[in-house]
Amino acid sequence: MARAQSPIQLIPQPVSVQPQTGVFTLTKSTTINYDQADGKAVADMLSQQLNVPTGFGFVAKPGKAGKIQLNLNTTSNAQLGSEGYTLDASPKGVTITANRPAGLFYGIQTLTQLLPKEIGSQATTTATWTVPAVKITDYPRFGWRGIMLDVSRHFFPKDDVKQYIDQLAKLKFNTFHWHLTDDNGWRIEIKSLPKLTEVGAWRVARTGHYGDLAEPKPGEPTPYGGFYTQNDIREIVAYAQARNVTIVPEVDVPGHSMAALAAYPELSCTKAIVSVNPGTAFSEWYGNGTFKMKVENTLNPSDEKVYEFLDKVFTEIAALFPNPYIHVGGDECYKGYWAQDPGCQALMKKLNIRHVEDLQGYFMGRVEKILTAKGKKLLGWDEILEGGISPTATVMSWRGIKGGIEAAKEGHNVVMTPSTFAYLDYMQGDPTIDAPIYANLRTQKTYSYEPVPDGVEAKYILGGQGNLWTEQIPNLRYAEYMTYPRGWALSEVFWSPKEVKNWPNFVRRMETHFERADIAQVNYSKAIYDAIVRTTMKDGKLHMELASEAPGLDIYYSIDDTMPDQFSTKYSQPVDLPEGPITLRVVTYRAGKPIGHLITLSRDALQKRIGRF
């Protein structure tokens, strides 16, 4: 691949990178030392990380004269904070210095990115293990740098979750939001409520596109699913903590509760028997954000037994997760069953509220009291603003940035996670290539995201995260494909100074990370190399514009039923397509070699995408 490549290609980009002269060479005799006991765990992790690909057998030891030296400041460096570090590499060795072990941890992630790409190999390999001489000062822009993984739609085994967390930690993400319950499965053992996993963790087996699957049949076996025991949870929490990752659990209530109601139907308004949903069309959406549920999936806010149930759930969850937050969902709660329920009507009368929507505010208030009693803070999706919430609640803004702006102006802490920039389940490239789902989100748009909206005090923006909903993501390999490279882009949005962001520069660094990911056997999408096909109608003619995310690509196309290559028509300016039943074929090249997918679109398909993508 012909391209200019600097030896220092880091993601996320540090605050300051000053290349120096020469290289440090790692050999069998290189020593790894840490100057304080608190640095031992990170030094041990570095040794293990280096030993697999090099085969050198490093053992970290206490001391102050290591060729790779990890030091903790005795007097805190205010600039670095709790997660920053300095890295000084010269031909004589590498010194990483930080105030806290978290900073040392991030320093070693940068060090491994400075080493050759073979450092990611899962077996011993040969390489010249050199580190370019450089002085780096680095610290994060935001304190909350997260990725959410939904394990309800598809269950991800314990080892897959650990592997995913490990990848995130290498990118300096520090929060793993774990979406543990929804309509499609309850994934966490609650010992006082055994049916939640005996019934709620399992569903009928179905293959195909989510939303188009067949309803469960009476008596049909439910082999598909799984759950995490409390011991599994403890193990994963400890694994994450060792990598400076905080896990925020989510139990989605009062809507999105079909798996819970399959186990305990008496907690709904109708008390109807429901099944854990395998991905059927159980709701009708009306295009303006409103919808109707065909099957009840909401807890009954007027039933005291619901709050007794939630107290049991949150008692056990609070004991498993040491972080201060529990996410309680609050999104997409259908209130049609509440409106028809005598108990809900009586509660509304008692509370002197006229709108059924306000019952959600009452419900969330009760939930927050439960969490507060367990020493936890309530965190929810931006719908929790609608019914009124306490000043101490934290809001996750997902329906664009509007909810985040509103919440911040009311003095709430906010985590920005808008679907328009941060939904990793959305298509990354052309919908004829990626499996179709709700919307399209390209890496370049994700990279362009600015988490602090204009007119909002930055102190209320804790940070942001990407969300990976898994309706159509059945396994870790595909979860990786959907996460990267957009997850790399978000790592830089949340960690790096706003001023260093530069898309062409990021693309160059991203391409070196494609090579690193190949060796580490981490999957990713190459949609940035695919052509972007946009159409409009102008003066009654179908008008086509082609573009690419990666700079410097040549785009070739045909409309005469030939397969395009570098000898076909080269795109240079917008084109008016001729009348008739044409088929457009588009392909991208770089340096004379094909690089993107072939995209094929009929005239009908071109007309249907007018004004889209």
**What pLDDT digit, counting tens, does each position of 337-381 carry?**
999 999 999 999 999 999 999 999 999 999 999 999 999 999 999
**Cα(496)–Cα(486) distance, rounded to whole angstroms?**
15
Q: In terms of domains, do 182 and 106 share one? A: no
Structural domain contains residue 496: yes
**Cα(101)–Cα(235) distance, rounded to whole angstroms?**
20
In the block, tokens 């309680």 appear at 328
Q: Does position 316 have pLDDT exceeding 90, yes or no?
A: yes
In this prediction, residue 5 carries a pLDDT of 33
Q: In terms of domains, do 159 and 110 share one? A: no
Residues linked to residue 97 through DSSP beta bridges, in sequence order: 71, 86
Which tens digits make up the pLDDT trace of 423-475?
999 999 999 999 888 899 999 999 999 999 999 999 999 999 999 999 999 99
The sign one gets for the Cα dihedral 100, 101, 103, 107 is: positive
Structural domain contains residue 106: yes
Q: In terms of domains, do 116 and 184 share one? A: no
In angstroms, how far is the first alpha carbon of the chain from the final one? Answer: 29
Task: Give the active site residues.
Answer: 332
**Cα 369 versus chain centre, distance:** 29
**Cα(383)–Cα(290) distance, rounded to whole angstroms?**
12
Structural domain contains residue 514: no
Query: What's the rounded mean pLDDT across residues 90-100?
Result: 98
The total number of structural domains that make up the chain: 3
Structural domain contains residue 279: yes
Q: Does position 173 have pLDDT exceeding 60, yes or no?
A: yes
**Cα(260)–Cα(296) distance, rounded to whole angstroms?**
11
Structure-block tokens of residue 472: 């159509």
In this prediction, residue 253 carries a pLDDT of 97
Q: In terms of domains, do 465 and 369 share one? A: yes
In the block, tokens 């694994």 appear at 239
Which tens digits make up the pLDDT trace of 527-549?
999 999 999 998 889 999 999 99
Among 59-68, 75-84, 381-390, 412-421, name the one with the lowest average pLDDT: 381-390
Query: What's the rounded mean pLDDT across residues 259-268?
Result: 98
Q: In terms of domains, do 130 and 178 share one? A: no
In this prediction, residue 570 carries a pLDDT of 98
Query: What's the rounded mean pLDDT across residues 382-407?
Result: 88
Q: In terms of domains, do 471 and 581 share one? A: no
Query: What's the rounded mean pLDDT across residues 319-332?
Result: 96
| Residue type at 9 in one-letter notation | Q
Which residue, of 109, 138, 167, is where some domain finishes?
Answer: 138
Among 206-210, 341-345, 387-391, 602-606, name the one with the lowest average pLDDT: 387-391
Structural domain contains residue 452: yes
Q: Does position 310 have pLDDT exceeding 70, yes or no?
A: yes
Which residue, of 138, 158, 192, is where some domain finishes?
Answer: 138
Q: Does position 84 have pLDDT exceeding 80, yes or no?
A: yes
Which residue, of 103, 138, 173, is where some domain finishes?
Answer: 138
Structure-block tokens of residue 479: 């979860």
Contact residues for 48 (Cβ-Cβ < 8 A; gap 6+): none
Comparing CA positions, the residue from 340, 323, 392 lying closest to residue 364 is 392
Q: In terms of domains, do 316 and 174 share one? A: yes
pTM of the model: 0.96
| 333-336 contact pairs (CB < 8 A, 24+) | 333/254, 333/255, 333/256, 333/298, 333/360, 333/383, 334/255, 334/283, 334/291, 334/292, 334/293, 334/297, 334/298, 335/298, 335/359, 335/360, 336/292, 336/293
**Cα(447)–Cα(51) distance, rounded to whole angstroms?**
34
By CB atoms closer than 10 A (0-12, 13-18, 19+), residue 576 is exposed
Among 36-40, 147-151, 433-437, 552-556, name the one with the lowest average pLDDT: 433-437
Q: In terms of domains, do 326 and 380 share one? A: yes
Domain around 180: 144-501
Contact residues for 507 (Cβ-Cβ < 8 A; gap 6+): 528, 549, 550, 551
Which tens digits make up the pLDDT trace of 338-349?
999 999 999 999
CATH number of the structural domain spanning residue 299: 3.20.20.80
Q: In terms of domains, do 50 and 74 share one? A: yes
> Could you check whether the bond before residue 485 is cis, i.e. omega within 30 degrees of 0?
yes
In this prediction, residue 419 carries a pLDDT of 96
Q: In terms of domains, do 243 and 288 share one? A: yes
Q: Does position 2 have pLDDT exceeding 90, yes or no?
A: no
Structural domain contains residue 155: yes
DSSP strand pairing (185-186 vs 531-538): unpaired
Q: Does position 4 have pLDDT exceeding 50, yes or no?
A: no
Q: Does position 1 have pLDDT exceeding 50, yes or no?
A: no
Structural domain contains residue 3: no
Q: What is the mean pLDDT of the chain?
A: 95
In this prediction, residue 3 carries a pLDDT of 33
In this prediction, residue 213 carries a pLDDT of 94
In this prediction, residue 464 carries a pLDDT of 98
In this prediction, residue 218 carries a pLDDT of 92
Q: In terms of domains, do 36 and 84 share one? A: yes
Query: What's the rounded mean pLDDT across residues 581-597?
Result: 97
CATH number of the structural domain spanning residue 43: 3.30.379.10
In this prediction, residue 611 carries a pLDDT of 83
In this prediction, residue 388 carries a pLDDT of 73
- Residue 613 pLDDT level (bands cut at 50, 70, 90): confident
Structure-block tokens of residue 580: 């008739």
Structural domain contains residue 1: no
Q: In terms of domains, do 134 and 149 share one? A: no
Which tens digits make up the pLDDT trace of 483-529?
999 999 999 999 999 999 999 999 999 999 999 999 999 999 999 99
**Cα(462)–Cα(393) distance, rounded to whole angstroms?**
13
CATH number of the structural domain spanning residue 570: 2.60.40
Comparing CA positions, the residue from 601, 398, 424, 612 lying closest to residue 527 is 424
| Residue type at 485 in one-letter notation | P
Q: Does position 576 have pLDDT exceeding 70, yes or no?
A: yes
